[in-house]
Structure 1
Amino acid sequence: MDMPNYSPSITTMIRMDHTHVMAAFHRYHAATSWWRKRAIVELACTALEIHAQLEEEIFYPALAGVLHSDDTLEKSKPEHDEMRADIARLRAMHPRDAAFDARFMKLMREVMHHVAEEETMLLPAAERALAAELSALGARMTRRRLQLVAQKRPAAIAANTVGTFPFASLAMATLGAVAIARCLRPARVRRGRLG
């Protein structure tokens, strides 16, 4: 299988990551139960860590090869480092701690600023300068993402996804169960008992 033909472009994948994290951010409220806050924060933080590593390993080096001394690109890695420090501080806290909400709100503001710069400056620049490579870079990002997710405890990611998006998770589980049930029915039943 030639993965580049089936993979979204790297810029599409980056935008999808941004959308996923923003959706998690919108689920967080000060009045949310502490266990759900923990799920939302863990899901967002894990997604951000994976996203940052993928950008640093694949996207930024490719972009640096065609954009020389770009200010937005040069400050992206230090912004990722600050984000990682905020994530470590959050993980050292309990959601019932008085400063937890403020710490997560700070992370959200920093990430939203970073996302805005990437989506308005870096991604359009990449789409112009790396047009012929975007799909191949997307395939590399897909392969590496699978490796990183496997290292980050997929069961915990799944549990945090359910805690963050309970209704969407229920809908997906229901659709999956229906699809499996349809696949497991005997062939005669699937063909409408033609025989």
Structure 2
Amino acid sequence: MTKLVSRLFPSATNMIRLDHTHVLSTFHQYKASAPVRVKKGLVNTMCTALEVHAQLEEEIFYPAVRAVTQNELIAKSLDEHQEMRRLIGLLRQMEPEARDYDDTVAELMRDVMHHVADEETLVIPEAERLLADELGELGMRMTKRRLQLVGPRSGEIALDMGRAASGNTAAIAMVGLAAVGLLVARRTGYLGSARRIGKSL
């Protein structure tokens, strides 16, 4: 794994920060007064993003951090992921018209914001200190795994983004759709090119 190849991908910690930004941005678009279609699209988009994010952390990032530190924050983060999955499960079974739908979304938002604060102030700095030379490779592995997780769900993701689009967010949603399509289309070619570059250097 060369430095050139690792630069083709975001580092693991930058990828995590980008995921946090995306989810929080989607959260901030959510309004209790929004049309049912928009609320459903936004919540489904958040839930899918959180599910993929948590799986990437649990499969790749957290084990790497645990290998170099006894940091108890990883155990806490795993507990937070479980609570997040519980709330996502509730939201997946509810309709936006349900009396406690908005309250459940708000509870998920609070939990995620707390989790993001912990990760960005404690876990990520620790990882960047102890795993600096490995973050590029971890980012490449996480990118490859993300494509595997998102590919089969691309239709669902596109539908949810379409539902969430209203007013000024329509342009953002279309850019997101184009990005998902590009990632899926390049899934094998892009990663294959990166591997070929790595082998030739």
> Smaller-chain TM-score range?
0.7 to 0.9
Structure 2, unaligned stretches of length 5 or more? Answer: 179-201
Partner of 2:172: 168
The CA deviation string for residues 123-144 of structure 1, in whole angstroms up to 9 with x for no partner, is 0110000000000000000000
Partner of 1:59: 61
Separation in 2, partners of 1:142, 1:67: 24
Partner of 1:117: 118
Partner of 1:14: 16
Q: How much has 1:34 moved relative to structure 2?
A: 0.7
The CA deviation string for residues 119-167 of structure 1, in whole angstroms up to 9 with x for no partner, is 000001100000000000000000000000023x201101222333313
Structure showing greater radius of gyration is 1
Alignment of 1:157 with 2:161, yes or no, is no
Aligned residues: 172
Aligned residues of 2:45 and 2:161 also touching (Cα < 8 A): yes
Separation in 1, partners of 2:135, 2:56: 14
Separation in 2, partners of 1:136, 1:4: 6
Correspondence 1:184-195 to 2 at 5 A: none
Separation in 1, partners of 2:127, 2:21: 19
Aligned residues of 2:26 and 2:42 also touching (Cα < 8 A): yes
Letter in 1 for 2:173: S
RMSD over aligned Cα, in angstroms? 1.8
Structure 1, unaligned stretches of length 5 or more? Answer: 175-195
Partner of 1:182: none
TM-score by length of 2: 0.81
Partner of 1:43: 45
Higher helix share: 2
Q: How much has 1:169 moved relative to structure 2?
A: 2.9
Correspondence 1:53-132 to 2 at 5 A: 53-68=55-70, 70-132=71-133
How much identity, in percent, do the aligned residues show? 48
Separation in 1, partners of 2:19, 2:175: 21
